[in-house]
Structure 1
Amino acid sequence: MSVNAQLTDRERVELTKKAYDELQLGDTIKIDQHYLGTVCRNVYAKDGMRAFVISSPNEITILFKGSYGFKKGTPQTWRDEWIKTNLPILKALLARKRTIPSQLKSAAHLLNQTINQFKGSRIYIYGHSLGSINAQFALANCRHPEAIAAAYLYEGTNIWLLLTPAERRQVAKMREKIFNYVDIYDPVTLGITETHHMVGKLCYVDSEPMQPIKQHMWGGYNFNADGSLKLRKVDQAFLAESRSERKLLARSGDLADFLEKMGSAEEVKKLATDKIEQLVQRYPDHKSLAKLAALFEGERNDKLSHRKK
């Protein structure tokens, strides 16, 4: 059995978190007693796409890095991850237009390049947030789906609506090998669905609401004694959230136009907060808008408390 296949759910989350570390070439990657291999590639594409390739004799692990987000963002990460990638994806979903940021294409190139480089090896993929989004698109454009052993995706926007029919067919071939984890209280998990209209199989996390950034960073994940993640069956709360998000994606053209005009990072934060608050008042039934508002409000409160200190 491969090392990746032996990991518990808790250990897979810990491995995915490694993508946020500044791993270096030659670093040994171990999760508890499990040796995954050594870092053979540290990828920082011109468009900001970050990933790490970990090699061992029989299996390859790819960690797609997520966004630094509001707390740790620098001007460059804001430009590469939010203004050039995350926000255009949200805009494309809202406007129902196929707009594919460069980072997603870079991720697809990396996956196919890695498969060609390590022919015969089993490929395991992990990604959180933007890393999940990049991984979804990479899988949709994978030229050798038989090489994919499994993919574990956490708290990413569902980009199925942006995929072409050919890309949807490609991910359908791998559906049983792609595990897409969703916490419905996470502000980033827009587009969730209980249907096949998502990349991979839905894994509905048994969580409770908390501060938005903590929620997004696996804060709502609870594990059993054996390391397995506590999951729920699809319930009314999930279905209500899914319906709310479909409404958001169907009738928020004004939000899409607004996102297109965003400029600097500070303008993004201020305009997004004001605009989303207006939309929450206009569409009080939109739980998805409330989630976005909570994200920006949480960041603003964090900054205010930091200034007081």
Structure 2
Amino acid sequence: MNDKDRVELARKEYDDLQLNSKIDLNGGETTVGRVSQVNDKPTGEQSFVVTDKYCPTSASIEQRNQVKEVTVIYRGSSFELSSDAAKDWLLNDIPTGIQVANGGGAVAMPQLQSSAETLKNAMELYPNAQVFVYGHSLGSMNAQYAVSDLSDKESSRIAGGFFYEGPNIYGVLSPKQQATADALTKLNKLFNYVDSKDLVPIGYGSGKMSVGNVIRVNSQKVGLIDQHMWGGYEFNKDGSIKATKEGSLQLAKYRVTQQLSAIDMMRKNFMKSGGGLSSSEEIFLDASEAMAITQGMKQTINGEIAELKQMYTDGIKNAGDLWKTTRSNAENTGSHLSYGECIEALARGNATESSIVREPVREYEEKLAKATKVSRNYDELLQKIGDSIKKQLETDEELANQIRSM
């Protein structure tokens, strides 16, 4: 699953999800699972527990033991005039916002506490599942608090936490909760997405601790509400989010780790037959590993290229501005001279449009072209690896059937 998929999944929290609702992404190409729990608590917490196969709380322990993946999604604040909105804003958003602004508070708000109970309950119900946690806005705060309130044993089952456009609640946490958040962050399992053009995600200053790696999104400016609702997010062709260099690096590490882990699991399943790996299986696994690593490298350089493009774009603009200022100052100083005489005087000091604008701009454009070429080379390599994997599956029906059955 890439960044774009995860945003699509997080958006589901605002859908009218019911028990057994199927959670599909990419127009049905990817199925996450089915809604096995719908929570609407007195605290105002609204959340959904999605399991890889429909398995409600009433299912037997044998059935629940077979669930391998659980996704807990926390819904954000309600904007409608209702009791839900009152609970969200008056009992949770505003008090927690004040705590964040003041650097912390003595007690977490009720909805944060009930959200922690939801996550723990889901982990207890499905004891063999790896767990993913999502939340947006108020849901982000709920998700941040929930993962931070886990025991060491429980937190070892967290496979990923993705929090979008919510305030930084790190200061609200107890020292023990902060230690849990720190450990999961260092393991590169938690990601806190922040659009600086959105007014809601406060508390993320330079050097401030946070629940998760802060991913600063390189966003477009859109309307106030749209900005908060992912409207400014942009994605690369591979589905990775356009973020700063540091954010892209962290997400690339996570992506590669997850993919290599899945490939290792696939390798173990292939080996269950006891006869070792066939040549087709070896080729497929090697190509899959190459794909995962190359995708990670491509995602890493996406952040680098984005920063280079911005730097070169700024450089080109600054060069033009510098020439205008230089020319204007010369005309003011030599007001008795003609325009041509001013330009000639500047040229004698090697201050020409060519030296100030054209030459630097040409250098910037050449460097940008090189960076863009590197990106294209990765795209071509990924295409070749993908074609190799596809060809292997097309020529080996048994291998294709094995993959489909996993």
TM-score (norm 1): 0.70
The structure with the largest helix share of the pair is 2
In 1, Cα distance between equivalents of 2:92 and 2:37: 22
1:209 Cα deviation after fit? 2.9
| CA-to-aligned-CA distance 1:46-71 (integer Å, 9 cap, x gap) | 111010001113100111111123xx
In 2, Cα distance between equivalents of 1:210 and 1:124: 30
Q: Residue 81 of structure 2 aligns with which residue?
A: 74
For 1:176-187, list aligned pairs within 5 A: 176-187=188-199
1:113 Cα deviation after fit? 0.8
In 1, Cα distance between equivalents of 2:13 and 2:40: 12
Residues 1:108 and 2:120 aligned together: no
Q: Is the 8 A contact 2:76 2:140 kept in 1?
A: yes
SS in structure 2 at match of 1:43 = strand
Residues 1:118 and 2:146 aligned together: no
Q: Is the 8 A contact 2:13 2:74 kept in 1?
A: yes
Give the counterpart of 2:156 among 141, 146, 153. Answer: 146
SS in structure 2 at match of 1:52 = strand
Which is worse superposed, 131-140 or 205-214?
A: 205-214
SS in structure 2 at match of 1:174 = helix
In 1, Cα distance between equivalents of 2:195 and 2:16: 26
For 1:181-200, list aligned pairs within 5 A: 181-195=193-207, 197-200=209-212
* Relative contact order, higher structure (CA 8 A, sep 6+): 1
Q: Residue 24 of structure 2 aligns with which residue?
A: 30
Name the aligned partner's letter for residue 3 of structure 2.
D
Q: Residue 160 of structure 1 aligns with which residue?
A: 170
SS in structure 1 at match of 2:135 = strand
1:34 Cα deviation after fit? 1.1
Name the aligned partner's letter for residue 135 of structure 2.
G
For 1:7-86, list aligned pairs within 5 A: 7-32=1-26, 33-56=29-52, 57-69=67-79, 73-86=80-93
Q: Residue 132 of structure 1 aligns with which residue?
A: 140
SS in structure 2 at match of 1:218 = coil
Deviation >6 Å, runs of 4+: none
Q: Is the 8 A contact 1:206 1:230 kept in 2?
A: yes
1:74 Cα deviation after fit? 2.0
Root mean square deviation, CA, Å: 1.5
SS in structure 2 at match of 1:80 = helix
Q: Is the 8 A contact 2:108 2:173 kept in 1?
A: no
In 2, Cα distance between equivalents of 1:95 and 1:125: 27
Structure 2, unaligned runs of 5 or more: 53-66, 248-406
SS in structure 1 at match of 2:230 = helix
Structure ID, larger Rg: 2
Name the aligned partner's letter for residue 244 of structure 2.
R
Q: Residue 274 of structure 1 aligns with which residue?
A: none
1:26 Cα deviation after fit? 0.8
1:187 Cα deviation after fit? 0.7
SS in structure 2 at match of 1:167 = helix
| CA-to-aligned-CA distance 1:136-171 (integer Å, 9 cap, x gap) | 010110121001000111101000111111111011
TM-score (norm 2): 0.54
SS in structure 1 at match of 2:92 = helix
For 1:170-249, list aligned pairs within 5 A: 170-175=180-185, 176-195=188-207, 197-233=209-245
Q: Is the 8 A contact 1:155 1:188 kept in 2?
A: yes
